[in-house]
């Protein structure tokens, strides 16, 4: 299903995401030559409704129109079919940011071909561009705590989130062969996220090497995900206390993203039992509700202060994925008292332990 081109398809720079299907038959990898032949790999539209990535490469390439790029660029235009309908993915399709390891249908084969192709070309760095469904500051997600990943991510934002799951995300897979980062550019259409991503890509095209200076961890807003917040599948819920008689989460929870949420904050009302209105699970899938929340009558209240991120009010995302995450600040390398278990399976299907490296 993958089309590989050695040029830009005609009209690519002026075609909107919903119209891409008119000029592309599906996922398309474009290799564009540059003076430095080690390519920068950029993927856009792995989620069809997240359009900042396409706009960013369109702006970037327009700036270089008629000139040779300073570095080769390999551009993957991902879920063209979902982009047509402005959807994350279509029914019956896998999430294109969950296909980069393991086995499945033709999408998994396509992702494997892209990885092989980029490994063969000795990819310089890999950038996957996304949007959030609710307001968040721009931030970068890194699959590894090593100097090259951190240096790359900090060129985009001071806010970094280290993640180990999902293992099948693009940057997890690319992190095995080159410095890799997922950049989150706020909601689609937000000018700041677009400008930041164009600047970031342009810097990378013009960069000989990634910065090697060690970064003090104390100076970074470096977080890791410690828990996922999920609404149990069958629950109905809302965010407007005037309209909702049952389970009602706080008004506009996204305003708390990357901010400290104080202990004692009322997170939801109308709960009818412990744990029944919100599941809080850690990376091992264990229930950690009591660590972060307590019940006060029918109200769900925070039991400690913490930093939430990616809180959304988008029902579809909440039902398909989650309400948001709880972050913990990383203050030391290796992270004190933490053994990070990397469940990415190798060819043998075995489990490996991944210990974060000291930068």
List, in sequence order, every residue forming a beta bridge with 180; answer none if it has no partner.
126
When the beta carbons of 97 and 302 are compared against Zn ion, the nearer one is: 97
- The minimum distance between CB 327 and Zn ion, in angstroms, equals 18
Whichever of 53 and 356 has its CB closer to Zn ion, that residue is 53
Q: Which of these, 103, 81, 93, lies nearest to 26 by C-alpha position? A: 81
Pick 181 or 277: Cβ nearer Zn ion: 181
- Of 35-94, which residues contact Zn ion (CB under 5 A)? 47, 50
DSSP summary character for residue 292:
H
Is residue 149 within the footprint of Zn ion (CB under 5 A)?
A: no
Considering only CA atoms, which of 124, 186, 117, 115 is closest in space to residue 157? Answer: 186
- Letters for 109-148 (x = contact with Zn ion by CB under 5 A, - = none) are ---------------------x------------------
Verify cis geometry, omega within 30 degrees of 0, for the bond prior to 81.
no
Going by their DSSP bridges, the two strands 28-32 and 221-230 should be labelled as: unpaired
- Shortest distance, CB of residue 179 to Zn ion, whole angstroms? 20
CB 47, min distance to Zn ion, A: 4
CB of 272 to Zn ion, least distance (A): 33
The least CB distance from residue 165 to Zn ion, in Å, is 15
Q: How many CB atoms lie within 10 A of CB 214?
A: 11
Bridge partners, residue 127, by sequence? 42, 181
CB 267 within 8 A of CB 247: no
Which lies closer to Zn ion via its Cβ, residue 47 or residue 144?
47
Of 131 and 148, the one with the shorter C-beta distance to Zn ion is: 131
Beta-carbon contacts of 139 under 8 Å, excluding residues fewer than 6 positions away, are 157, 159, 160, 161, 183, 184, 258, 309
Q: Which is nearer to Zn ion, 130 or 224 (CB)?
A: 130
**Alpha-carbon distance 165 to 226, whole Å?**
11
In the complex, minimum distance from the CB of residue 138 to Zn ion, in angstroms, rounded to a whole number: 14
Structure tokens at 347: 């060819």
> Residue numbers of the site for Zn ion (CB under 5 A)?
47, 50, 130
């Amino acid at each position: 299903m993958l089309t590989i081109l050695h040029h830009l398809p005609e009209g690519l720079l002026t075609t909107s995401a919903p119209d891409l299907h008119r000029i592309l038959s599906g996922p398309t990898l474009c290799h564009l030559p540059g003076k430095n032949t080690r390519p920068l790999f950029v993927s856009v539209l792995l989620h069809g409704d997240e359009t900042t990535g396409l706009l960013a490469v369109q702006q970037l390439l327009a700036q270089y129109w008629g000139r040779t790029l300073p570095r080769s660029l390999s551009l993957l235009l991902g879920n063209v079919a979902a982009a047509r309908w402005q959807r994350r993915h279509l029914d019956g399709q896998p999430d294109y940011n969950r296909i980069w390891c393991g086995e499945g249908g033709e999408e998994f084969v396509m992702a494997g071909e892209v990885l092989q192709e980029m490994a063969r070309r000795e990819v310089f760095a890999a950038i996957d561009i996304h949007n959030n469904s609710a307001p968040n500051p721009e931030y970068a997600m890194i699959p590894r705590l090593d100097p090259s990943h951190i240096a790359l991510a900090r060129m985009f934002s001071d806010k970094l989130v280290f993640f180990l799951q999902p293992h099948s995300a693009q940057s997890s897979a690319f992190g095995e062969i080159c410095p890799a980062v997922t950049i989150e550019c706020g909601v689609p259409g937000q000018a700041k996220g677009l400008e930041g991503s164009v600047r970031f890509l342009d810097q990378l095209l013009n960069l000989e090497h990634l910065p090697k200076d060690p970064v003090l961890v104390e100076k970074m807003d470096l977080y890791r995900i410690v828990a996922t917040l999920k609404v149990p599948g069958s629950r109905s819920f809302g965010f407007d206390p005037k309209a909702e008689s049952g389970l009602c989460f706080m008004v506009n929870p996204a305003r708390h993203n990357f901010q400290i949420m104080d202990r004692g904050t009322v997170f939801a009302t109308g709960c009818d039992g412990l744990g029944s209105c919100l599941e809080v699970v850690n990376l091992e899938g264990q229930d950690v509700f009591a660590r972060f929340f307590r019940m006060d009558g029918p109200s769900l209240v925070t039991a400690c202060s913490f930093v939430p991120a990616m809180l959304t009010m988008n029902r579809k995302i909440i039902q398909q994925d989650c309400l948001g995450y709880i972050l913990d600040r990383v203050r030391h390398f290796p992270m004190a008292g933490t053994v990070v278990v990397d469940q990415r399976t190798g060819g043998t299907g075995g489990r490996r332990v991944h210990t974060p490296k000291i930068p």
